[in-house]
Amino acid sequence: MTTPREDSEEDYSIRGIQTAKFLDYPELHSKDESLSAGMCLKIYKTMARVRALEQRTIKMSKSGEGYFWVGGPGEEAFNVCLGLQVHKGRGPAFDYLHLHYRSAGVMMAMGMPMADHFRQMAMKLTDRHSKGRNFVGHYAIPEWNVVPVSSVIEVQYTMAPGTAIVQKRHGGEGVSVVTGGDAGTAEGDFTSCMIWSTRPNQALPVLMIVTNNGFGISTAANTQHGESSIAARGNAFGIPGEVVDGNDVIACWWAIYRAFDYCRTTRRPYILEAKVSRLHGHSSSSGASRVSTEADCITLLEEKLIANKILNRETAEMIHQQASDEADTAVDQVMQEADPTADDVNRYTFAPSRWDVIYPDDYTGLPS
């Protein structure tokens, strides 16, 4: 079984700045679980970079540097822990990712540069995910098994069993991970995923994740859902699951670990529901202003690190400033890059087909 990454030398330093003497405090605790101080600092630093990226993206939408914003500020704790535990690679031996448009934390934890996110926000020709065609958060990275993100809500839940079938036939420990929001689980695609993942003698290694922020755009979930939890819907299909506090880094880390462990070892599906915050509303459509009444997972982890003398406020402020500077630099670079032209509209859109007699010349090659 693939285990979470061990702490490395990098975990114990932040851009050359040795933090407090946390080696004397090797673990942080949450209830009956714990995580090493080094890993907590690595997660914290990544969360700070993701937050800086999201805030700079919102600024782009309001300043005219970019277009429509949608993202996941408030989901950093869960998404960063998920990205750090993905078995990254290409092909069925590795995990497939069927993400939705609030997954910047997953991608940043996997190693995506900030510029790759901003290129899509600015719809630049250099956007590696869609060549400037799609709006932000619609990632696609073949070499990491990141399946193209769709704007159509929840269709990814019907795609995940497809890659999981390939993984089941291939053998090994690869898992098809699918993520979505709470509102979309009311659609049939979510149920289709449970059905296809639990057919008799054909169960599939699908990790079904729901990041539940309590809203479907502007509709409160508690006015629409009568069940005890979304994860409990798996009971009817024999799918085990868990509900986790998505603002608690340590709880998230181990809940994700248990979910991956189950899928990798049993080759069966699992449902993980994370209760997360929504710190800037749904998207540009709701104004993207900060919501002060929601808990902030970065602040919660920061206070825990400081209380345990693993971090001090000066270093914390430096980490946030470095992240903000990194985001500004990346945007400055991206804004100098080329825009698509009208001639690019049909490029990379259609695959070649000898049966296509109407548009035989549409195929212009795969993106480089």
CB 236 within 8 A of CB 196: no
pLDDT band at 344 (very low <50, low <70, confident <90, very high): confident
CA 275/CA 228 separation, integer angstroms: 13
Instruction: Give the confidence band of 346 by pLDDT, cuts at 50, 70, 90.
Output: confident
Of residues 12 and 347, the one with the higher pLDDT is: 347
Q: Please give the full DSSP string across 77-137, using - where no structure is assigned.
A: HHHHHHHHHS---SSTTS-EEE--TT-HHHHHHHT--HHHHHHHHTT-TT-TTTTT-S-TT
* 219-220 and 241-245 beta bridge pairing: unpaired
Is 70 exceeded by the pLDDT of residue 48? yes
pLDDT at 351: 65
Task: Check if the beta carbon of residue 181 is closer than 8 Å to that of residue 151.
Answer: no
Asked if 138 contacts 101 with a C-beta cutoff of 8 angstroms, the reply is: yes
pLDDT given at position 221: 87
Check: CB of residue 102 under 8 Å from CB of residue 70: yes
Has residue 355 got a pLDDT over 80? no
Contact between 69 and 136 (Cβ < 8 Å): yes
Question: What whole-number percentage of the chain has pLDDT above 70?
Answer: 88
Q: How far apart are CA 162 and CA 230, in angstroms?
A: 23
Of the two residues 165 and 363, the one the predictor is more confident about is 165
The pLDDT tens digits for 76-109 are 999 999 999 999 999 999 999 999 999 999 999 9
Q: Beta-carbon neighbour count of residue 289 at 10 Å?
A: 10
Residues ≥6 apart with Cβ < 8 Å to 172: 92, 93
The yes-or-no verdict on residue 14 having pLDDT over 60 is no
Can you tell me the distance from the alpha carbon of 89 to that of 165, in angstroms, rounded to the nearest whole number?
18
Band of residue 197 on the pLDDT scale cut at 50, 70, 90? very high
Q: What local confidence, expressed as pLDDT, does residue 287 receive?
A: 87
pLDDT for the residue 103: 97
Inter-residue long-range contacts of 294-299, CB under 8 Å, 24+ positions, other chains counted: 294/74, 295/247, 296/74, 296/247, 297/47, 297/74, 297/75, 297/76, 297/77, 297/78, 297/246, 297/247, 297/248, 297/249, 298/44, 298/47, 298/48, 298/51, 298/76, 298/77
Name the more confident of 34 and 25.
34
Q: How far is CA 46 from CA 42, 205, 214, in A?
A: 6, 28, 25
Q: Find out whether 86 and 97 touch, Cβ atoms under 8 Å.
A: yes
Q: How far apart (Å, rounded) are the C-alpha atoms in residues 270 and 258? A: 10
- H-run or E-run covering 209: strand 206-212
pLDDT score at 87: 98
Mapped onto helix, strand or coil, the DSSP state of residue 335 is coil
The reported pLDDT for the residue numbered 173 is 97
Please say whether the dihedral angle defined by the alpha carbons of residues 346, 349, 355 and 361, taken in this order, is positive or negative.
positive
pLDDT tops 90 at residue 367 = no
CA 103, chain centre distance (Å) = 3
Looking at residues 37-65, what average pLDDT do you find?
Answer: 97
Residue 7: is its pLDDT beyond 90?
no
* Residue whose structure tokens are 């659609």: 187
pLDDT band of residue 57 (cuts 50, 70, 90) is very high
> Residue 354: CB partners within 8 Å, gap ≥ 6?
none
For the chain, the average pLDDT equals 90
293 CB neighbour count, 10 Å cutoff: 6
pLDDT at 11: 44
